A and B are shown apart, each in its own frame.
Chain A
Amino acid sequence: MRFLLISICLLLVSCASYPKKQHFQLDNSVSKSIENPYFSDETKDYVYKASIDVYDKHFGGLLIIKKINEQEHRVVFTTEMGNKLFDFTFTENHFQVNYILDELNRKMLINVLKNDFKVLVSDNLQVINTFSEANTNVFETSIYNKNHYYYFENKQLTQVVRTKNGKVKVQFLFSEINNHLADQIDIKHHNIKLDITLQSITQ
């Protein structure tokens, strides 16, 4: 019986929501929608030198992101020498693979990439809850039915955290920010050994 109690207690603790664990204060007086400005300018060609470390392998290439119109983004990955590895189209409710190299055409990989890049290109999000802590505002949103927390420090988006059952799954870090352009973006996966580092070479 005592065991049962302990395990129920443990269960309750481990199931506590992410904001509760982080001791965030609920504060729903602020905005109902937020913007991610980093890939939102239709006049810009966003080009990043990408480094991908997956398990013990290291890959490089160029990640190219373009906002085509209000509803659509293109995301293309090429090798440094220009060979196209994949080409995706994202719209509000639709995702399309325009091209993918046969060797990379794996459903699991495409899903990981789809989920990650959707976060980069989602530039307007509905807020579910708002929390605050010192000079940071944290906004709870949902992308593909997964909880995402957007951190704005001094009104600048610095981090997005995807969680599941109150645990951090993926972290997106934006740094070296100038004029709505994040020169450095780090995507860190906590459940699989996959890190993506992006360094802007936008011309």
Chain B
Amino acid sequence: MRNLVFLFLLLSVTMQAQTKMSATEAQSLKTLVKRQALTTKTIVSDFTQYKHLDFLSNDIITKGKLAFKTPDLVKWEYTEPYKYAVLFKNETLFINDEGKKNQVDMGSNKLFKELNNLIINSIKGDMFDEDAFVITYFKTGKNSEVHFVPKDKNSSKYIETFQITFNPSGDVTEVKMMEPSGDYTKIVFSNKELNKPLPDAIFTH
């Protein structure tokens, strides 16, 4: 009997965990995030990445730092357990792999260009493009979770859904990229600072 009560409790908690937003709620979240994105000039944040593969016993955990400066400078840097940095700058992707430097011209590579846009937009949370995605809005406790399903068949081969979690002030706290196989990459942001002056030196290769 006690087990049954417990099960019921658990069930109601999990059911409560994610409810669909009303149209008005979705609209106000969208406005909040867009306003936040407009006033955001710089972002620095730590992140922890969880790579989930169903057949593994544990997720693969990597950690690093992110820096963003408007309009389109992004540095994505892994520090643990290896050093690897990518810098998106002037249509070029600069890679520093444990000191080995490399670059990719994104102008000639549609996939990288799309990737760049997606990264910038998902960091800011501003992916509310109804032409590119089927968008569904959920409430999870105090936070909001928005699912973006790419309409483009080519992108959806790699990523089936982007799931972005926002805190009550409209900041992105988590990005989860679901693959069609059910495997996923989850990135959780911490120590996020907005509009702190960032020297250009951070964005040199």
A residues at B contact (CB < 8 Å)? 43-45, 47, 49, 51, 58, 60, 62, 64, 66, 68, 74, 76, 78, 80-84, 87, 98-99, 101-102, 199, 201, 203
With A80-B78, A82-B177, A84-B179: A43-B185 Cβ-Cβ less than 8 Å: no
- Whether B56 pairs with A45 at a CB distance below 8 angstroms is yes
CB-CB contacts below 8 Å: B79-122 with A: 81-82, 84, 86, 95, 97, 100, 102
Are the C-beta atoms of A66 and B185 separated by less than 8 Å?
no
Give the Cβ gap from B96 to chain A, nearest Cβ, in Å: 10
Q: Evaluate contact between A60 and B84: CB separation under 8 angstroms.
A: yes
Query: Is B10 engaged at the interface, CB distance under 8 Å to the other chain?
Result: no
A66/B82 in contact, CB under 8 A: no
Say which size band chain B's interface belongs to. Answer: 20 to 34
Closest to B60 in A: A47
Indicate if B202 sits at the interface (CB-CB under 8 A).
Answer: no
- Shortest Cβ distance from B56 into A: residue: A45
Task: With a 10 A CB-CB cut-off, give which of B58, B86, B97 has the most chain A CB atoms.
Answer: B97
- A62-B60, A203-B81 known; 4 new pairs, CB 8 Å cut-off, are A66-B56, A80-B82, A82-B49, A201-B82
> How far, in angstroms, from A47 to B95 measured CA to CA in the complex?
21
Query: Whole-angstrom distance between the alpha carbons of A146 and B140 in the complex?
Result: 56
B 45-76 contacts with A by CB, 8 A: 49, 51, 53, 55-58, 60-62, 76
Give A70 Cβ to nearest chain B Cβ, in Å.
15
Residue of B nearest to A199 (CB): B82
- For the complex, give the distance between the alpha carbons of A203 and B62 in Å: 10
A197 CB to nearest chain B CB (Å): 11
Assembled-state Cα–Cα distance A154/B58 (Å): 33
B-side interface mostly: strand
**Partner of A80 from B53, B56, B84, B100 at Cβ < 8 Å:** B84
| Chain B residues within an 8 Å CB radius of A66 | 55-56
Judge whether B185 and A82 touch: CB under 8 Å.
yes
B195 at the interface (CB under 8 A from A): no
Q: Nearest chain B CB to A110's CB is how many angstroms away? A: 18
Q: A53 to nearest B CB, angstroms?
A: 10
Complex interface: chain B residues within 8 A of A99 (CB): 181
Question: Which chain B residues border A49 with CB–CB below 8 Å?
Answer: 81-82
In this complex, the member of B49, B53, B61, B86 whose beta carbon has the largest number of chain A beta carbons within 10 angstroms is B53
Q: List 21 A-B contacts (CB under 8 A).
A: A43-B57, A45-B57, A49-B82, A58-B97, A58-B102, A60-B97, A74-B55, A80-B62, A80-B78, A81-B86, A82-B51, A82-B185, A84-B179, A84-B183, A87-B181, A98-B181, A101-B158, A102-B157, A201-B81, A201-B82, A203-B61
In the complex, are the beta carbons of B102 and A68 less than 8 A apart?
A: no
CA distance A168 to B53 in the complex (A): 36
Instruction: Assess whether A45 is in contact with B97, with CB atoms less than 8 Å apart.
Output: no
Contacts A60-B84, A64-B53, A66-B56 given; does A83 touch B158 at CB 8 Å: yes
Least CB separation from B183: chain A residue: A84
CA distance A125 to B17 in the complex (A): 51
B61 to chain A: closest CB distance in Å? 7
How far, in angstroms, from A74 to B179 measured CA to CA in the complex?
17
Q: Give B172-195 as 1s and 0s: 1 = Cβ < 8 Å from A's Cβ atoms.
A: 000001010101010000000000
Query: Could you say which of A58, A78, A101 contacts B51, with CB atoms under 8 Å apart?
Result: A78
Contact status A51-B97, CB under 8 Å: yes
Task: Report if A45-B86 is in contact (Cβ < 8 Å); known contacts: A51-B97, A82-B49, A84-B183.
Answer: no
Whole-angstrom CA separation of A81 from B76 in the bound complex: 9
Q: Write the chain B residue with the least CB distance to A83.
A: B158
